[in-house]
Amino acid sequence: MHDEISGGLPPEENEASTDRWLRVSYSSMNVFDSCRRKFEFQKLYPQRQSDHDNYAADVGTAIHHGYQTFLVTGSRDKGVWAFLKDFPYEGEFMQEKDDRSCEAALSTLEAMFDSTDMSEWELATIRRPNTTEEIAAGLSGGIEVPAVEVPFELRFRGLTLPNGMGVAFTGFLDALMFNALTGEYRTLDIKTHRRYARDATAKYKFDSQQTPYGIIVEHLQGHPIEGFEVLYLDCFVDVAEPRVELYAFEKDKQDIQEWLTRRVLQIQELQRYMEMDFFPRTDSGCMSWNKPCYFLDVCESRHRDSIEAWLLAGEEPYVRTYEQPWVVAELDLFPESE
């Protein structure tokens, strides 16, 4: 089902194609599954710059960067420094609770350093495209870097939306590791949270977030793979008792195939809603994380202009710029029909 996998494209080629793709991700397709209407609001209307409170996510990002720096350099000090540089100090003072304070996040990061022995594994390397500054300095051909925080884009060929756009699946791979003795690959995803459940096996066992990373592994190897391992570094953020658990699962070709089949079904459903100009509301209530849905008021309307006016609130539409992907894979969804 997927056959043509390429490395990072030259910047000009990527930039020229940015408006032809509806970019979706693991989280936006989860939104699609939970409420088609919310997906419509978030992905198919112009947006203003987000003024939502992203503090918890920003703390998670700082922890990610701290741990990824530790993986790359092997230095705890450098990991802590990367974390401290990224930590959202301004947001910390606005929080009602201090369960994700700087101290709690740092304590969790230290527990992550101590949690796992990855000594048999080395970080894979990947060629990223040159930045604008590097091109201006006369560099070309990309640069080999450790495979952490790898932006990727999987472009689905064979399904076009009624507005003429294709659908591309984008995301970031937290880390890709390689075992030089066995030739095996493993991918890592870092999860920071405040869930109290002790055993998260059920949360991750069939979670599909890392399944498409197998396509990136294929890109690096240059041929289809039989399987790879996915790791979830599950981190309970707490100042006194941070908990870090590593969950490992095997993925194989069948998992990648099922992931692609699921994306085809979702895109076909999306096509139908767009053709009908009707995205249904969820049947299961409009609260999440104990808060009412942000779109609760505007959701009453089916009038496109009023919805757009509500969403923009008098501001200019925000044009999101996407990170240039280091891996671009063209996935032919229906090769037999050609």
Which chain residues interact with ligand SF4 by CB under 6 A? Answer: 35, 37-38, 41, 281-282, 286, 293, 295-296, 299
- Distance of closest approach, residue 284 Cβ to ligand SF4, in angstroms: 9
Token pair belonging to 32: 């699609």
- Distance of closest approach, residue 39 Cβ to ligand SF4, in angstroms: 8
Q: What are phi and psi of 323, to 5 degrees?
A: -60, 135
Who's near 146: CB < 8 A, 6+ residues apart?
Answer: 71, 72, 123, 124, 125, 126
- Distance of closest approach, residue 277 Cβ to ligand SF4, in angstroms: 16
C-beta of 40 vs 153, nearer to ligand SF4: 40
- Distance of closest approach, residue 38 Cβ to ligand SF4, in angstroms: 4
- 3-state SS assignment for residue 200: coil
- Distance of closest approach, residue 36 Cβ to ligand SF4, in angstroms: 8
- Distance of closest approach, residue 80 Cβ to ligand SF4, in angstroms: 39
C-beta of 296 vs 319, nearer to ligand SF4: 296
C-beta of 42 vs 107, nearer to ligand SF4: 42
3-state secondary structure 87-140: CCHHHHCCCCCCCCCHHHHHHHHHHHHHHCCCCCCEECEEEECCCHHHHHCCCC
C-beta of 20 vs 302, nearer to ligand SF4: 302
Whole-angstrom Cα distance, residue 149 to residue 170?
Answer: 12
C-beta of 41 vs 213, nearer to ligand SF4: 41
- Distance of closest approach, residue 280 Cβ to ligand SF4, in angstroms: 8
How many C-beta neighbours within 10 Å does residue 52 have? 7
**Per-residue CA distances from 38 to 177, 280, 321, 325, 331 (Å):** 36, 9, 21, 26, 27
C-beta of 196 vs 289, nearer to ligand SF4: 289
C-beta of 20 vs 303, nearer to ligand SF4: 303
* 311 burial level (CB within 10 Å; 0-12, 13-18, 19+): middle
What is the Cα Rg of the chain in Å?
A: 21
